[in-house]
Amino acid sequence: MIDVARIDHWAASGSGPFHRSSPIAKVFFLLLVVSAAVIAKNPYALLAGYGALLVVAALSRLPWPRVMALSWYAAVFALLYSLSIRGGFLIRALFIVKAITPSFAMLMVIVSTPYPKIFSLLGSVLPEIIAAGLFMTYRTLFILLDMMDNFAAAIRLRGGFSPGSLYKNSANISQGIAMLVVRAVERASRIYAVMVVRGYSGSMAEKASVRLHPEDWLPLSTGAAVLLLVLLWK
C-alpha cells in the first residue's frame, strides 16, 4: 500500500530548497524529466539522470531513501511488461529506468509540495467537478486508510481470516470492502457538508502562484540537466 499519510507529512513538514520552490517550477521540472524518459534510448544516460535526481533529493533534505524505494515500485510492473518484449538486457534495463526516473521525479514533487498547493494548481486547469472530485478523493483516502487498519484488526480479532478457506476469506474481505464503500460515502458526505458550511465553493482558498521566483532555480536546472544528459549521451 502506498503510504499516502507519510507522503503528506513529508510535504507539509520540510523546509529544504525543493520545498521552497514554486509548484509551477516543479511542474516544469517534472515535464523536463518525463520528456527525457520519453526520448531516452540509452539506459545508462537515464540511469545517470536518476542518479542526479537522487543527489539533488539528498542535498534538498528530501526523504530520498524512502522516495527511492517508492520509485522502484514502478519497476516491478515495468519488468513484467518488459518480459513480453523480444530483446536483451539493455532493452529491459531501459524499460525499468524509464519507469523509475519519472516516478522518482514525481515523488520528489509530491513529497515537497503540500496537497492544497497541488490541488490549487490542478483546479486552475481542470473543470470544477473534476477538481472538487480530486480533492474529495484525496481527503477520503486518509479516512479510508484508517478504516482499513481498523477493519483488518477487527477481522483478525473475530477470527475472520481462516488459513486455507478461500471462500470464507473472500466473503469476509468482500463484505469489508462493501462496508468501506458505505462508510466512506457517509464520511465523505459529512466532510463535504462541513466544507460547504465553512465556505467551500468548489475551489481552493489558496490560489496557486503561476510566477517563477529565484528559488525555482533548483528544480528547473535539475530537470534541464536530466534532459541534456539524455540528449547528449547517445
Q: Please tell me whether residue 179 binds other proteins under the rule CB under 8 A.
A: yes
Q: Please tell me whether residue 7 binds other proteins under the rule CB under 8 A.
A: yes
Q: Which of 55, 81, 153, 207 binds other proteins (CB under 8 A)?
A: 81
- Quote the CA–CA distance of 44 and 52 in Å, as a whole number: 12
204: phi then psi, degrees, rounded to nearest 5 = -80, 145
Q: Which of 5, 59, 85, 153 binds other proteins (CB under 8 A)?
A: 85
87: phi then psi, degrees, rounded to nearest 5 = 175, 175
- Quote the CA–CA distance of 134 and 113 in Å, as a whole number: 16
Q: Amino acid identity of 153?
A: A
Q: Please tell me whether residue 132 binds other proteins under the rule CB under 8 A.
A: yes
- Quote the CA–CA distance of 103 and 135 in Å, as a whole number: 22
Q: Please tell me whether residue 65 binds other proteins under the rule CB under 8 A.
A: no
Q: Please tell me whether residue 177 binds other proteins under the rule CB under 8 A.
A: yes
* Minimal distance, residue 104 CB to other proteins, in Å: 7
134, 70 in Cβ contact below 8 A? no
- Contact stretch for other proteins (CB under 8 A) within 13-21, 70-78, 156-164, 210-218: 70-78
Q: Which of 25, 34, 54, 56 binds other proteins (CB under 8 A)?
A: 34
Q: Please tell me whether residue 170 binds other proteins under the rule CB under 8 A.
A: yes
